[in-house]
């Protein structure tokens, strides 16, 4: 029996050979161990991300998110919607809060949804994968499956923005959330306690449109990880992961630095600690190889 | 069309830009709640780069500085980090208001020309509404080639290392250029968006 059952909203970058395909592979591996069942919402669509506002308008941005809820309610009734992407989660949750608070907005939304033969009833709730781990399973359960503790590896827990603000994980502070550090420790790793760039913005979508300005941010994020002796950065957000990893060569060129800091997902740490292979943890999806994790994944361990 | 929309707004709101923002901008009703403390200004990661802080934008709206506000580059510098939102003592949804002002300025045709994030925003919207899902490679190509073919090739070459790294890591698929992934019900998806925009245009007084 599957322990937990969710309506899964994987998001655009998770698709086959997308920029966060490594996130999806490692989440699926992690969930297999934890007996968490993820069923994709049939025909889910893009959440609009954080930068499509010029063309959208208020109602359209809520309607596109309501479409996913309506599909989940129709095909996967009774299951919480779970997103792995920070932006998917934020946009979906923001729309849900607005729709549930305003009967007028809900009526307009359903009038538009009717064009696609759908109706949002306001039942489905939306969660981030991290919430599922912490709230539905708990640190103790997460630790129970560890067969290869990530001993001696030092992680800078880079939480970033959108899993942290404006909603965040219940009980965590906006300025110094500690759940990611706790997850690192749960799988036997060492968390950098005073990583001062923990909630700094990587530039988000503006890493594309304003690369110079964003790379100044990225430089601070990576530099501080080095200053605190981290072996690698770990993050819950696919845009943080991509921006902080793939632009390091550009940052080096711009600032004369010699950064080569791996940037991983919590799900990759957990997959390796749970005895998964490098492939199951999608470590081959790193542009900057996470050598320490590859070494642990390669050591024999009980499964 | 944008000019006609602007003329119509000018006629309707005359000297009351605050009311115009309240009626036509997403979450615009919150603007008058700003108490000018400046925490947003000090919290923005792109603080060194924009012309006006959210605090200034909100006061300028109340002072009726319509042209200056709508032509400002500040709204387009929002990275959606939500620092200002969680720190605002009055709990203004500043990120949404800034996006809403950007949307409105863009619709009226008054937003700064060639502003890179404005262009990216339009490209992103067109990208995913084409078939329901964002297509990363087409997104990048359209952005790079927005200044013409030569500039696009130069940009692509400058990004070669990043691209090759993504290819090697199997996190980029050139095949996505030809259509790519999308929803099955593209027709319904697009009809639903058209309907949403039609309803909003009517309610905000954009149509007729």
The predicted structure's pLDDT at residue B208: 56
A54 contacts B118? CB cut-off 8 A: yes
Q: Tell me if residue A7 falls in helix, strand or coil.
A: strand
Angstrom distance (rounded) from CA A104 to CA A10: 30
The predicted structure's pLDDT at residue A1: 42
A116 contacts B185? CB cut-off 8 A: yes
B164–chain A nearest CA distance, Å: 10
B146–chain A nearest CA distance, Å: 12
A49 contacts B124? CB cut-off 8 A: yes
A44 contacts B170? CB cut-off 8 A: no
A286 contacts B199? CB cut-off 8 A: no
- Which residues of A fall within a CB distance of 8 Å from B113? none
For CATH 1.10.1060, list the domain ranges present in chain B: 2-112
- In A, minimum Cα distance to B102 occurs at A54
Taking only the tens place, the pLDDT of each residue in B79-101 is: 999 999 999 999 999 999 999 99
A103–chain B nearest CA distance, Å: 15
The predicted structure's pLDDT at residue B156: 87
Q: Find the CB nearest A116 among B49, B93, B191.
A: B191
B193 has a pLDDT exceeding 50:
yes
- Which residues of B fall within a CB distance of 8 Å from A13? 134, 136
Give, as one character, the DSSP assignment of residue B47.
T
**Where is pLDDT greater, at A85 or B15?**
A85
- Which residues of A fall within a CB distance of 8 Å from B128? 12, 45-46, 48-49, 52
The ipTM of this complex is 0.95
Taking only the tens place, the pLDDT of each residue in B26-76 is: 999 999 999 999 999 999 999 999 999 999 999 999 999 999 999 999 999
- Which residues of A fall within a CB distance of 8 Å from B111? 54
Tokens found for residue B93: 């949804």
Taking only the tens place, the pLDDT of each residue in A158-202 is: 999 999 999 999 999 999 999 999 999 999 999 998 999 999 999
Give, as one character, the DSSP assignment of residue A79.
P
B143 contacts A209? CB cut-off 8 A: yes
A251 has a pLDDT exceeding 70:
yes
The predicted structure's pLDDT at residue A301: 75
Q: Find the CB nearest B132 among A46, A168, A204.
A: A46
Note whether A281 and A293 are within 8 A (CB).
yes
Kindly list the strands in the beta sheet with A4-9, ordered across the sheet, starting from the edge strand earlier in the chain: A36-40, A4-9, A81-83, A126-128
In the CATH hierarchy, which top-level class contains the domain B2-112? Answer: mainly alpha
- Which residues of A fall within a CB distance of 8 Å from B183? 43-45
The predicted structure's pLDDT at residue B23: 96
Alpha-carbon A197 to chain mean position: 18
A63 contacts B45? CB cut-off 8 A: no
% of chain A with per-residue pLDDT over 90: 96
Task: Please state, as a whole number, how many other Cβ atoms lie within 10 Å of the Cβ of residue A303.
Answer: 10
Taking only the tens place, the pLDDT of each residue in B103-151 is: 999 999 999 999 999 999 999 999 999 999 999 999 988 988 988 899 9
B49 contacts A12? CB cut-off 8 A: no
The predicted structure's pLDDT at residue B3: 81
Averaged pLDDT of chain A: 96
Q: Tell me if residue B78 falls in helix, strand or coil.
A: coil
Phi-psi category of residue A152: left, alpha or beta, with phi > 0 → left and psi -120 to 50 → alpha: left
A254–chain B nearest CA distance, Å: 13
A111 contacts B194? CB cut-off 8 A: no
A117 contacts B195? CB cut-off 8 A: no
Q: Find the CB nearest B133 among A17, A46, A285.
A: A46
- In A, minimum Cα distance to B92 occurs at A166
- Which residues of A fall within a CB distance of 8 Å from B124? 49, 51-52, 55, 205
- Which residues of B fall within a CB distance of 8 Å from A205? 79-80, 117, 120, 124
B136 contacts A12? CB cut-off 8 A: yes
Nearest 5 degrees, angle CA B161-CA B166-CA B171? 170
Domains and CATH numbers, chain A: 4-130 (1.20.1050.140), 147-298 (3.40.50.11810)
Taking only the tens place, the pLDDT of each residue in A100-159 is: 999 999 999 999 999 999 999 999 899 999 999 999 999 999 999 999 999 999 999 999
Between strands A190-191 and A81-83, the pairing is: unpaired
Name, of A83-97, B137-151, B156-170, the range with top average pLDDT. Answer: A83-97
Q: Tell me if residue A115 falls in helix, strand or coil.
A: helix
A17 contacts B173? CB cut-off 8 A: yes
Query: Region B169-179: what's the mean pLDDT?
Result: 88
Q: Find the CB nearest A210 among B95, B117, B134.
A: B117
A interface mutation test: which of B24, B74, B92, B125 has the most A CBs within 10 A?
Answer: B125
State the sign of the Cα–Cα–Cα–Cα dihedral B166, A244, A56, B118: negative
CB burial class (10 A; 0-12, 13-18, 19+) of residue A199?
A: buried
Between strands A190-191 and A126-128, the pairing is: unpaired
Tokens found for residue A140: 């103790």
B166 contacts A246? CB cut-off 8 A: yes
Taking only the tens place, the pLDDT of each residue in A20-60 is: 999 999 999 999 999 999 999 999 999 999 999 999 999 99
B128 contacts A58? CB cut-off 8 A: no
Residue A203's alpha-carbon distances to A161, A243, A277, in angstroms, are 10, 8, 32
A44 contacts B121? CB cut-off 8 A: no
């Amino acid at each position: 029996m599957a322990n937990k059952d969710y309506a899964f909203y994987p998001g655009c970058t998770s698709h086959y050979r997308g920029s966060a395909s490594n996130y999806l592979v490692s989440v699926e591996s992690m969930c297999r161990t934890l007996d968490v069942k993820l069923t994709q919402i049939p025909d889910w669509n893009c959440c609009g991300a954080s930068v499509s506002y010029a063309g959208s308008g208020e109602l359209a941005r809520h309607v596109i998110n309501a479409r996913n809820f309506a599909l989940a309610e129709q095909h996967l009734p009774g299951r919480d919607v779970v997103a792995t992407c920070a932006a998917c989660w934020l946009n979906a949750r923001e729309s849900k809060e607005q729709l549930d608070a305003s009967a007028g907005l809900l009526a307009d939304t359903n009038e538009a949804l009717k064009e696609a033969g759908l109706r949002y009833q306001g039942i489905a709730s939306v969660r981030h994968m991290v919430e599922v781990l912490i709230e539905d399973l708990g640190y103790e359960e997460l630790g129970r499956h560890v067969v290869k503790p990530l001993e001696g590896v030092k992680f800078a827990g880079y939480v970033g923005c959108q899993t942290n603000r404006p909603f965040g994980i219940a009980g965590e502070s906006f300025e110094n959330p500690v759940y990611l550090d706790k997850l690192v420790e749960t799988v036997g790793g060492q968390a950098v306690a005073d990583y001062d760039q923990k909630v700094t913005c990587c530039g988000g979508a503006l890493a594309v449109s304003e690369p110079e300005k964003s790379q100044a941010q990225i430089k601070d994020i990576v530099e501080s990880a080095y200053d605190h002796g981290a072996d690698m950065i770990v993050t819950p957000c696919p845009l943080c992961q991509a921006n902080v990893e793939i632009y390091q060569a550009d940052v080096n060129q711009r600032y004369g630095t010699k950064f080569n800091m791996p940037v991983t997902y919590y799900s990759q740490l957990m997959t390796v600690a749970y005895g998964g292979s490098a492939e199951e943890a999608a470590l081959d999806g790193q542009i900057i190889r996470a050598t320490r994790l590859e070494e642990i994944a390669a050591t024999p361990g009980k499964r | 069309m944008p000019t006609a929309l602007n003329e119509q707004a000018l006629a309707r709101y005359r000297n009351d830009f605050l009311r115009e923002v309240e009626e036509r901008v997403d979450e615009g009703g919150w603007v008058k709640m700003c108490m000018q403390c400046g925490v947003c200004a000090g919290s923005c990661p792109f603080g060194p780069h924009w012309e006006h802080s959210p605090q200034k934008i909100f006061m300028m709206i109340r002072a009726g500085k319509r042209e200056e506000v709508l032509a400002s580059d500040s709204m387009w510098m929002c990275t959606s980090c939500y620092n200002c939102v969680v720190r605002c003592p009055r709990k203004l949804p500043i990120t949404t208001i800034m996006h809403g002002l950007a949307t409105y300025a863009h619709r009226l045709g008054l937003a700064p020309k060639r502003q890179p994030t404005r262009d990216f925003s339009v490209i992103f919207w067109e990208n995913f509404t084409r078939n329901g899902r964002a297509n990363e490679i087409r997104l990048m190509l359209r952005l790079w080639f927005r200044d013409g073919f030569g500039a696009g090739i130069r940009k692509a070459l400058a990004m070669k290392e990043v691209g090759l790294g993504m290819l090697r890591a199997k996190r980029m698929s050139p095949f996505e250029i030809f259509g790519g992934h999308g929803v099955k019900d593209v027709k319904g998806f697009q009809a639903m968006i058209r309907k949403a925009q039609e309803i909003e245009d009517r309610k905000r007084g954009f149509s007729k």
